[in-house]
Amino acid sequence: MSPEIKLPRCGRFITTHNANGSSVHREQKLLPYFNVARVGQMARSYSVQGVPVVLEGDADVTAFEDGDGDCSQNRQEIVVPKGVNLNVLDLQPGGVTDFHQTVSIDFSVCTIGSIDHELDSGNVVLSWASLALFFYDMRRVLRSGLILMNSNELSETCSKVLKTDSRCDMTTRIQIFGTLSSSSNLVLDVLALIMSTRKKKK
């Protein structure tokens, strides 16, 4: 069983329109978190079935709050087929996930704490303070005459994600969002990495 997470719960604010067409906030509801063994706790902040999103009659909100389909807030899958998913993950101190792959485009933002991100190649980024990843369309990538990716493929994320610094006394929170399935016809073009790092405590 995962230890108690002492981070404040994330707030989620959904806007819609009233009968007069004015913008209003829907009633705020707590995110339903579920335990992830050896990792911490995770919650879906929001999910939609596809892009462009169908908003008529608050269909997207209904599917998320009241439904039991792929976009339901009660589902625990990382990727929504053909859709977009925003997850909040609270890592327990020393929490670690296994190497894994998802056929999706992922954007991860560390909002509190620091983590180590280790790939199966052995490459490691230490002590992220903030991170933004941007992906764009492409035709293909060539390196030393080898095709690394073509226009019919998506990059598969393969990473040993989120190992917290044992010398950091706070839990780590990341937001994992923007997961798009392989059927979306998007492919990786350019990885633009904006990162500020923080030296580990000695």
The bridge status of strand 115-119 relative to strand 156-164 is antiparallel
d(CA 58, CA 62) in angstroms, rounded, equals 6
pLDDT of residue 46: 86
Distance of CA 139 to the CA centre of its chain: 26
Distance of CA 135 to the CA centre of its chain: 14
pLDDT of residue 4: 61
pLDDT of residue 127: 57
Q: Among residues 76, 9, 11, which one has the least CA distance to residue 47?
A: 76
Q: State which amino acid sits at residue 34.
A: F
How far from each other are the two terminal CA atoms of the chain, in whole angstroms? 31
pLDDT in tens, 121-147: 888 776 544 333 333 233 333 444 444
pLDDT in tens, 28-44: 888 888 888 888 888 88
Mean pLDDT for all residues in the chain: 64
pLDDT of residue 45: 85
Helices of type H across the chain = 59-65
Higher-confidence position of 181 and 57? 57
Contact 184, 51 (CB under 8 A): yes
In the chain the domains, ranked by start, together with CATH numbers, are 15-130+168-180+191-197 (2.60.120)
